[in-house]
Amino acid sequence: MGLLAKTGTILEMIKFEHSIFALPFAYLGMVLAAGGIPDAATILWVTLAMIGARSFAMALNRLLDLNVDRSNPRTASRALPQGRVSVPEVMAFLAASLGGFFFAVMMLPPLCRRLWPVVLIPMALYSMTKHVTWLCHFVLGLCLALAPAGAWVATVNTLPPPGVWLLALAVLLWTAGFDIIYSCQDYAFDCSAGLRSVPVRFGIASALRAAKILHALTVVLFCAAGAVLGLGPVYFLGMAAVGIFLWYENSIISPDNFGRVQSSFFTMNGCVSIAVFVFAFLAVLL
């Protein structure tokens, strides 16, 4: 298998397309900081930093979870357990991703060079948290929540204002909610393997109720962020759409029916992130 084919296999393994969950919030952080369209260089380096950090985190996750993935029927067909890519190849990809992240950070304002551990440490620790605490979903949420806050810093070299922190908190709860839903698929395996999650700790029915509560709070916080940032009626129209997407995502899942988790996970959550960005961007321009 050639280099391009190997790279494609690794990108599929780390679910590169799921970058759509975090990237729109990074772009939104830039737009809010710039009060419009940021300069091309900032967009380029923030994009590279985001992709590098996420690719590093996902590659590390696959490496640390290799034995778990081999044992789990749902994940045993992934590229690394199947031997379609090797551990050294994934390690090389991880190093390249980390190198891309640091190169981008060096091209961004000075405050980014001081705060980069705030981004990488939660991402590096996430894979281990599922072995020690059911709060692992919220650690993943923190990783994505750093996107709008970090992008603000990268654009104007200052810490974000309260409205952006509210936006980040909304992203954290949204991510934790959809990760709880996703983890319900592995309930039986996680119980047998001694892994921690909200479904394992509280049961599937309670976990799904918790996801609904987290997603309701997500909409409230998105609206609060818009009010504090003065985004106006166009933005709130978008938040109504976000509420519908999250309602639908939760409504099609039940304790005895997880058949649509895989299809709804990417589609609905991709719609949420894109809708928040598009309507906030229009609000800023208007």
Question: Over the stretch 97-129, which tens digit does the pLDDT of each residue have?
Answer: 999 999 999 999 999 999 999 999 999 998 889
pLDDT score recorded for residue 225 = 97
Domains and CATH numbers, the chain: 3-285 (1.10.357.140)
Measured torsion, CA atoms of residues 8, 10, 15, 17, in degrees rounded to the nearest 10:
-30
- CA atoms of 43 and 30, how far apart (whole Å): 8
* Assessment of whether the complete model's pTM goes beyond 0.85: yes
pLDDT of residue 18 exceeding 80, the answer is no
More confident residue, 32 or 13: 32
pLDDT score recorded for residue 286 = 85
When pLDDT is cut at 50, 70 and 90, the band that residue 263 belongs to is low
- CA atoms of 59 and 95, how far apart (whole Å): 10
Using one digit for the tens of pLDDT, what is the confidence trace for 28-72? 999 999 999 999 999 999 999 999 999 999 999 999 988 988 998
Token pair for residue 79? Answer: 């590229």
Using one digit for the tens of pLDDT, what is the confidence trace for 161-180? 999 999 999 999 999 999 99
Which residues partner with 254 through β-bridges? 257
User: Mean pLDDT in the chain?
Assistant: 91
Token pair for residue 250? Answer: 């939760």
